[in-house]
């Protein structure tokens, strides 16, 4: 409220205001980069970064990601070429990249899914060999580390989202971080219609500016970053303990070393589980426990990609498998150990009575 009142007192609501500048400084600190360019949301930040890098033709992206990763390219008439992911962390599989490279390929847009860095070293090596540009969608990964340092220093640029559902939220918001001075200057122009001075436009641009209210929200949440991580981590560990031993269900592990924000708690269900993933979701929703499928049925099965690339699924078996077997469990500051214990009890009961529940769902057409 202090920040909001201060914004109103200053009568400076957007366009490089006090709070946006402060937020950018803090974002760069957390990301470990020289520059942070705050944007109105993560999607616009992806569009600006990919455009500033002059990506064109075809760009390789993982098929298992939020649809905005692909849309940001398609919106600019760059063809997203979907590559498969790997089983253990659902990130882009480096071994699947090269089969998709054609003479039209100009870049790789990697995603750090669930806050775990994708294999940046392998991706960089392929990019170097094939002369491609690399950027990352780090929307899930603010505050996380890659193998060799903060996640922001990887590739030419990395994008974060500060949407209401993300680890640090600004209501709506996003940013691009980079160590490249020239690229940063270009992106600053691009997010403000290409204006260099108040009456001089030197570049095609868009309106990608973050407003002061969003920056105030982001800054206020950033003050609690350690606390948010601690609660997320506690919830993750409580889920792990409470779900242990339920046959056919396991929590996805975070790597033993590294810094994570623990924003996502992902359960994987075996085919052998007594209840199907979709039936378990029905049971949990009936109990008002709002687990979610994620990225189902996969970017390649959503329009316009489904019609544009009807055969893409042939090279994406792991994307299809992962999309069909995961549950994203509720977490965050309002979820406590009691809630998780109760959820685990429901899940255990549902699995124990899986066959009966499946029959009942079918019979009653639920």
Q: Which span (35-43, 207-215, 277-285, 308-316) binds ligand PLP, by CB under 6 A?
A: 35-43
Position 65 contacts ligand PLP (CB under 6 A):
yes
Any idea of the CA torsion for 46, 153, 295, 108, to the nearest 10 degrees? Answer: 70
Least separation in angstroms between residue 168's CB and ligand PLP is: 11
Distance CA 196, CA 202 (A): 6
Q: Read off the tokens for 354.
A: 């899986």
Q: Which span (37-45, 74-82, 243-251, 297-305) binds ligand PLP, by CB under 6 A?
A: 37-45
Measure Cα distances from 119 to 87, 110, 112, 353 in Å.
13, 9, 9, 40
Least separation in angstroms between residue 66's CB and ligand PLP is: 4
Token match 């580390």: residue? 145
Position 115 contacts ligand PLP (CB under 6 A):
no
Instruction: Using DSSP bridges, classify how beta strands 249-251 and 265-269 pair: parallel, antiparallel or unpaired.
Output: antiparallel
Least separation in angstroms between residue 241's CB and ligand PLP is: 27
Distance CA 291, CA 350 (A): 14
Site for ligand PLP in 119-148 (CB under 6 A): 137, 139-140
Query: What is the number of other CB atoms lying within 10 angstroms of the CB of residue 120?
Result: 21
Sequence-ordered strand ranges (E) for 40-165: 58-62, 79-83, 105-111, 133-137, 145-146, 149-150, 157-161
Position 261 contacts ligand PLP (CB under 6 A):
no
Least separation in angstroms between residue 36's CB and ligand PLP is: 15
Least separation in angstroms between residue 205's CB and ligand PLP is: 18
Position 174 contacts ligand PLP (CB under 6 A):
yes
Least separation in angstroms between residue 173's CB and ligand PLP is: 7
Site for ligand PLP in 83-112 (CB under 6 A): 111
| Number of residues lying near ligand PLP (CB under 6 A) | 14
Distance CA 190, CA 361 (A): 52
Position 191 contacts ligand PLP (CB under 6 A):
no
Position 69 contacts ligand PLP (CB under 6 A):
yes
Closest of 65, 14, 21 to residue 43, by C-alpha: 65
Position 154 contacts ligand PLP (CB under 6 A):
no
């Amino acid at each position: 409220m202090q920040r909001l009142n201060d914004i109103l007192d200053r009568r400076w609501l957007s366009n490089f205001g006090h709070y946006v500048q402060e937020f950018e400084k803090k974002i760069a600190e957390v990301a470990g980069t020289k520059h942070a360019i705050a944007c109105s949301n993560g999607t616009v930040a992806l569009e600006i970064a990919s455009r500033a890098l002059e990506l064109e033709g075809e760009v390789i992206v993982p098929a298992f990601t939020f649809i905005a990763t692909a849309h940001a390219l398609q919106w600019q008439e760059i063809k997203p070429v979907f590559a498969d992911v790997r089983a253990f962390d659902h990130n882009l599989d480096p071994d699947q990249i090269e089969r998709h490279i054609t003479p039209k390929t100009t870049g790789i847009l990697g995603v750090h899914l669930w806050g775990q860095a994708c294999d940046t070293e392998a991706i960089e090596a392929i990019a170097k060999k094939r002369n491609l540009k690399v950027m990352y969608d780090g929307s899930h990964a603010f505050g996380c580390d890659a193998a060799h340092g903060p996640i922001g220093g990887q590739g030419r640029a990395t994008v974060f989202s500060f949407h209401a559902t993300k680890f640090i939220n600004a209501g709506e918001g996003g940013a691009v971080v980079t160590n490249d001075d020239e690229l940063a200057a270009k992106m600053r122009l691009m997010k403000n219609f290409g204006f260099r001075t108040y009456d001089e436009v030197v570049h095609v641009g868009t309106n990608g500016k973050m407003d002061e209210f969003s920056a105030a929200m982001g800054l206020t949440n950033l003050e609690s970053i350690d606390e948010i991580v601690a609660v997320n981590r506690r919830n993750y560990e409580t889920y792990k303990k409470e779900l242990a031993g339920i046959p056919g269900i396991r929590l996805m592990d975070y790597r033993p070393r590294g810094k994570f924000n623990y924003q996502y708690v992902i359960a994987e269900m075996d085919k052998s589980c007594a209840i199907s993933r979709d039936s378990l979701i029905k049971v949990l929703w009936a109990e008002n426990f709002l687990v979610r499928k994620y990225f189902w049925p996969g970017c390649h099965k959503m329009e316009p990609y489904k019609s544009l690339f009807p055969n893409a699924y042939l090279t994406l078996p792991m994307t299809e498998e992962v999309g069909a077997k995961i549950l994203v469990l509720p977490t965050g500051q309002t979820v406590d150990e009691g809630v998780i214990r109760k959820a685990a009890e429901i899940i255990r009961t549902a699995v124990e009575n899986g066959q009966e529940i499946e029959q009942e769902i079918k019979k009653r057409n639920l």
